[in-house]
Amino acid sequence: MNAMLHTIEVAGIIAFASSGFIEARRKRMDIVGVFTVAFITAFGGGTLRDLLLDRRPLFWVENQQYPILVFVLALIAMPFLRHLRHAVTESVLEWADALGLGLFSVTGTSLALEAEMPVFICAMMGVITGIFGGVLRDVICNEIPLVFRRSQLYATCAFSGCWVFLFLNWLQASEALSLLAGICTTFALRILAIRFDWKLPA
């Protein structure tokens, strides 16, 4: 279980960092900009969650290998970035991003629950953990955040997955089962939303 979570986490970080790479490149930033935007995209949500819950050390300080991973990726990827959009197909990125969204959201909710937050707050902390990296990426790149624009369900998938986790937890299901169900719900909803172009009313 733990090894699986760890693998998904690394996949999520790589997916989020990649979306940062691509966005930063589109804005013609240099390598420092590319690395910083990737870093903020991958770790922004978890950092805000840790600040709000007053958790120390921050998760990327505890796992120093994560920022180093992003740093090395930025160094390696830089020469290829011009071609990255073509090399990595859009749908690979979307799947990894959906996985990362599920994992970050549901573990965010789980950490908030551990910190004994009230239940509605737990769901919100999950969504914040999942989406805030992307919000910061877009704010820094001077765009209206993608998750707020009218497009296929995104935050809603995370919100649903967090409630599935909270519901199973309340039924006293095992931690592993609840986490897995929440992550799968988020992931499946997001993939379906992209596939069938589900949108919220505006």
Task: Give residues in contact with a second copy (CB under 8 A).
Answer: 24, 27-33, 36-37, 47, 51-52, 54, 56-58, 60-61, 64, 67-68, 71, 78, 117-118, 120-121, 124, 135, 139-145, 147-151, 154-156, 159, 199-202
Partners of 199 in the beta sheet? 152
**CB of 50 vs a second copy, minimal distance in Å:** 9
**CB of 184 vs a second copy, minimal distance in Å:** 21
**Which residue do the tokens 């990649």 mark?**
18
Q: Which is nearer to a second copy, 102 or 180 (CB)?
A: 102
Q: Which is nearer to a second copy, 176 or 200 (CB)?
A: 200
**CB of 46 vs a second copy, minimal distance in Å:** 12
What single DSSP character describes residue 198? -
Q: Which is nearer to a second copy, 106 or 122 (CB)?
A: 122
d(Cα 74, Cα 36) in Å, to the nearest integer?
A: 9
d(Cα 3, Cα 61) in Å, to the nearest integer?
A: 20
**CB of 181 vs a second copy, minimal distance in Å:** 22
Between CA 191 and CA 199, with CA 194 as vertex, the angle to 5 degrees is 120
Q: Which is nearer to a second copy, 180 or 186 (CB)?
A: 186
Q: What is the full DSSP assignment across 152-189?
A: B-SHHHHHHHHHHHHHHHHTT--HHHHHHHHHHHHHHH
On the CB side of 94, how many CA atoms lie within 13 Å of its CA? 14
**CB of 188 vs a second copy, minimal distance in Å:** 18
